[in-house]
Structure 1
């Protein structure tokens, strides 16, 4: 198989701002509800990291109004779009699996539909890193797999762009989070088309 991360990067590069159409086909209210619930819990001037920020909408645009926000994404095109869409926020091109931050750097870390673009073998180590990067009492919001699957789509959403996903099942993700030291606040299935994902809200 071609390098999975190259598939992901080139896929999001090719989609460019058409990815916004995909987001709008989901339920935008999901994001609003999740982000509003997080914002209420955070201290003033909280520091937030988003893994897989895409073009900055809606997460960066919403959170950077109140908080110190940093978004990272593998796609240079998505980061370029994000810097245009949300000029007050900070964005960097990066592979989330190779990031390095001092311990206790962030009050919240967000990974909505993004961890599952990493090969599943890399995900447990990233979850451990996320735990280390969070301050005590910090929060994680993420959406991951509901069932086990790894594969590609050569025409994602009929866009002509290829995309790669890799995820395990919800019970395994929960065991990884709890085993790392997180406290589970909320978890539920998020339907999408004929399948869906699992939403987790966690606290260190």
Structure 2
């Protein structure tokens, strides 16, 4: 565990490669262990605010749980993830969604292209000194007034696990606490509209789910 941000930003390519390898290795175990019911409720609430024909980006879509499986039949959905194994699961679960490999800090999506962005349990795998860059990417691809739903930390934390979910795959996490995350969201143009703290069903602790709107 490390509660101090590094003096120099970590290399994004090196970090992303490690996260990609980890999720490739843990894909099936993670998919089996996930219970997306409470997240699906949040996604459905987000969907209720979207116009007909809206386009939704799931940034860090994983195997398509919660977001793509809930929305792909109603909206145009795009899923972006580092892990090819996770995208294979997402393709089977939500065949109507468009899928692409990509990094949250360099999204393969055009400016002003989507009406909503979801990032559930994905920004937490980006080095926290680069979270503002990821949030700025969400703002870039959203249309004015667009919606955001993301997961971040209740408190600040960083750590790693060499055998996550007993899969033999390594994983690493890095995130700010609530106040800093909201400060960064506001700095790139978001107004936070709702917050909810939920238990982490995979490993104890809690997550903060934030809803926000991009200023018009």
TM-score by length of 1: 0.92
1:11 corresponds to which of 11, 19, 22: 22
Inter-partner Cα distance in structure 1 for 2:199 and 2:185:
22
| Counterpart among 145, 154, 158 of residue 137 in structure 1 | 145
3-state SS of the aligned residue for 1:150?
strand
Match of 1:203 in 2: 213
Q: Name segments (4+ residues, structure 1) moved above 6 Å.
A: none
Matched residue, 2:118: 110
- TM, length-normalised to structure 2: 0.87
- CA displacement at 1:173 relative to structure 2: 0.4
Native 8 Å contact 2:125 2:174 kept in 1: yes
Deviations 1:41-68 (A, max 9, x none): 0001101111111111231111111101
Deviation at 1:111, TM superposition (A): 0.1
Q: What is the alpha-carbon distance in structure 2 between the residues aligned to residue 106 and residue 124 of structure 1? A: 19
Q: In 1, Cα distance between the equivalents of 2:100 and 2:109? A: 13
Query: 1:157 Cα deviation (Å)?
Result: 2.1
**In 1, are the aligned partners of 2:154 and 2:206 still within 8 Å (CA)?**
yes
Aligned length: 201
Higher helix proportion: 1
Query: 1:178-198 deviations in whole A, cap 9, x for unaligned?
Result: 222211110132222542111
Cα distance in 2, alignment partners of residues 189 and 58 from structure 1: 17
CA RMSD of aligned residues (A): 1.7
Aligned counterpart in structure 1 of residue 64 of structure 2, from 45, 51, 56: 56
